[in-house]
Amino acid sequence: MVSVKLEEEISVKKEGTTKGKKSAKKNASWDDQYANCKVFRKKHNHCKIPTNFKENKALGIWVQEMRRNFKAMMQGKKARRPLTPEQIDQLDEIGFHWGFTGDPNKIPETDESWEEKFTKLNEYKKSHGTFDVPIDDEDDKALRKLGIWVRVQRTQKNYRDTKRKCFITKGRIKKLSAIGFNWKGERKINL
């Protein structure tokens, strides 16, 4: 729940962004604009924030910058201000609209995030008897995310085996292999 004080702070920030694009970018910190995104979501029930958002120009510019940086990262290009995996997760959690569907095989994952999904995969295997987690269940987003993660691990190992750029480490491969992970399963992701 967004407090009245936070809404007042956002209102003050909106008023201070009339000097142009450059000053708006400099004045808005990541946390402030993330809070603005949450307020937008609460008000509009979605996070498809337009880049020309008239109510808060700084937010529109920031959104455009996040999308541009994320897209560059997804394409393996240099981003002006690379997003951390934590920032990407935070934006995903509130349903931030990236403007395009990215390839999950091109985003490195933090150890904490990887370990969390590894634990969930172990739990899934114990209760379902398989590592083949479905990705087509629109009602269970957590299960869908886990299924995509499983396929990304397989693709990443294939990349490593064929000497292509990848983010999976030997340690992660070893850990998955130790629990009998099925490396030959489905790798295709239809997003």
Q: Which two tokens stand for residue 191?
A: 């997003």
pLDDT tens readout for residues 88-109: 889 888 888 777 544 565 666 7
pLDDT tens readout for residues 39-64: 988 888 877 788 788 888 898 889 88
Residues 6 or more apart whose Cβ sits within 8 Å of residue 144: 134, 135, 136, 137, 138
Q: What is this structure's pTM? A: 0.47
